[in-house]
Structure formats: C-alpha cells, structure tokens
C-alpha cells in the first residue's frame, strides 16, 4: 500500500515519518510532480495537478475539519473525500469559544482597558438568562461547544441544516428555523461548514435579527461573514462587538479595519489546530478499516459540501 502526503503550506516530512512509523507496512512519501501513484493521500489544500496526476487514489484524507477548499477542485466522482472527525480539535474549539463568551459576558475586555489606564472600576454583574448563546452548526465541533457552554449555565440554542436533538439545548433547523433561532440568540457562534448555501450567511439581514446588543463569534470560515455588514451593525449599536478567528484573506491584511476596531477581538485562525499524532492515528485507523471493507465515518457528501 502506498500513501502520499501533499500539503500546500506545511512541511510534509514530519507527517511522512510519523505515518510511516504508525503504518510500517505502507510505503509513505511526500508528493512531488511526477511522483508514483498512491492508494491513499493525506492532504491540505493540494493543487489540481496533484488530483490530476494521482488518478488511482481510493481515498483523500483532509487534515482539517473543513473541506471547502478541497471541494473547489475537480475531483473524480468515485474518490472518497474523508474529513477528520475530531482529532483533538473539538476540545480546543470548546475552550476558545467558552473563553470568548465568558470574556464578553464578564466584560473582561472593558476591565482590561481600565487596568491599562490605572483605573479601578466596577460593573454590575449581568444575568446569564439574558445571554442565550446560539451555536450555528451542530457537527462534531458544534455539539462539543454547545455542551461545554451548558456547564457555565448559559441558555444554549443550536441551529443545523437537519433536525438535531441534544439534551438541554433548544434546537432549530432548516431555512424555516433560522429566523426564530436568531431572534432568541444574544451571542452567536458560527461553526457552519462553508458551502455555496452558507457563504455570506452572516450578513445585514441575519445579524440584525439577533437580540439587541448581540455579539458574534466566528470560528468557521471568513467567507461566512460580510465584513461591512458586521461593522455597520456594530457602529449602529445593534451589535456590541465580535470575536473573529477567521477571515476572507489570511493573514488578515495589515490595513484591515478589524485590527484596530475597539469592539472587535482578532485572533490568527488559532481556535482549533490539527494535532498531528491524533490525526494520524485516526487516519491510519480509517485506512485499515477500508482495507477490511468496513464503512468509516467522515466521508464527505460532495453535493452537500461536508
């Protein structure tokens, strides 16, 4: 069995060594133009040339949770595209989102600003009942985030394409459920997959339906958010701010208004990073299951985009 690794912006050598160690029976190599045909591939944002040359692939394993960039390529219809189920990312995402929600709820950003000027300040505690958090996207990451928020006793709403039933979480689904979901949400957490249907979903129409003083946390993809609409709603006072970890252009350009906006917190796409050891163990397990003719989790449905 041959496994090739193709990363657009990461050095493949540590992965080649680790996959070879985890799967001694396989031949593992980094892809270069003209490389031998492989049975399986581990990729991140590969070029179209890779897909065209590796015509014999049985499965393509994506090392990130999102497969939107991969599905923009011309892929053979028979090629299995497999995303990671978790590989250590869900707990990182839960940490990040809970921190962002609590930082906003406890007004720690305002306290931090006061401390920098030497001011000893006090703010009246806010009511959790008034801070319903809505999680858009209830996949592996979204479900973990929603459950983590429950620990801090925030009211939690969930939104997904198809119906979900999660204990203690008020769930909405489909286009008909989106307006009601937004109307009962104060803090919006976006974890939707990026598809043609969800691109620009965080816009003037949707964000204006959040409760007065709403707050936006985007940890999915930058193309979900219409930047100008977010800024207009913050400047009008309808939204109180945002925490943004993903952007339309990354790295975020130095002259982008998000950097200096007093009500926007920027982080460099670091909410949940791929952990190599966990990812490799999962991928090797899936390859072995395929070899035995067993079904695996995480196979992407091309027409849905995830």
Three-class SS state of 118: coil
Catalytic residue among 123, 269, 276, 302: 269
Whose CA is closest to 194, among 274, 301, 305?
305
Q: State how far the Cα of 183 lies from the Cα of 130, in Å rounded to an integer.
A: 13
Burial class (CB in 10 A: 0-12, 13-18, 19+), 121: exposed
Catalytic residue among 83, 104, 186, 221: 221
The answer to whether 123 and 138 are in contact (CB under 8 A) is: no
CA distance to 24, 58, 111, per residue, from 123 (Å): 60, 58, 9
* Known catalytic residue at 261: no
CA distance to 21, 28, 150, 229, 230, per residue, from 254 (Å): 41, 39, 37, 20, 19
Q: State how far the Cα of 30 lies from the Cα of 50, in Å rounded to an integer.
A: 11
- List all residues 6 or more positions away from 142 whose beta carbon is below 8 Å from its beta carbon: 135, 136, 158, 160, 189, 191
* Known catalytic residue at 161: no
Cis previous bond, 251, omega within 30: yes
The answer to whether 92 and 144 are in contact (CB under 8 A) is: no
Catalytic positions, written as ranges: 221, 269
């Amino acid at each position: 069995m041959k496994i090739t690794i193709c990363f657009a912006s990461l050095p493949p050598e540590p992965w080649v060594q680790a996959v070879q160690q985890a799967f001694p029976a396989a031949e593992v190599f980094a892809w270069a133009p003209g490389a031998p045909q492989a049975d399986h591939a581990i990729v991140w944002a590969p070029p179209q040339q890779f897909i065209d040359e590796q015509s014999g692939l049985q499965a393509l394993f994506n090392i990130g949770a999102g497969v939107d960039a991969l599905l923009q390529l011309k892929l053979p219809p028979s090629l299995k595209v497999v995303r990671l189920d978790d590989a250590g990312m869900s707990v990182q995402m839960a940490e990040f989102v809970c921190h962002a929600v609590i930082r906003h709820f406890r007004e720690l950003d305002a306290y931090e600003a006061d401390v920098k000027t030497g001011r000893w300040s006090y703010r009246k505690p806010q009511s959790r009942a008034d801070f319903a958090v809505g999680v858009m996207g209830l996949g592996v990451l979204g479900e973990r985030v929603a459950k983590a928020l429950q620990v801090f006793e925030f009211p939690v709403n969930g939104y997904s394409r198809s119906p979900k039933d999660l204990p203690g979480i008020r769930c909405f689904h489909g286009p008909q459920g989106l307006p009601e979901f937004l109307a009962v949400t104060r803090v919006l957490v976006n974890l939707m997959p990026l598809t043609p249907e969800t691109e620009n979903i965080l816009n003037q129409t949707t964000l204006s339906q959040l409760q007065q003083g709403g707050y936006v946390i985007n940890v999915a993809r930058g193309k979900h958010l219409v930047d100008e609409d977010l800024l207009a709603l913050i400047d009008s006072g309808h939204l109180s701010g945002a925490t943004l970890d993903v952007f339309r252009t990354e790295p975020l350009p130095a002259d982008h208004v998000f950097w200096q906006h007093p009500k926007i917190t920027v982080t460099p796409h670091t909410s949940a990073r791929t952990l190599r050891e966990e990812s490799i163990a999962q991928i090797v397990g899936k390859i072995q299951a395929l070899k035995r003719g067993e079904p695996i989790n995480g196979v992407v449905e091309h027409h849905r985009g995830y």
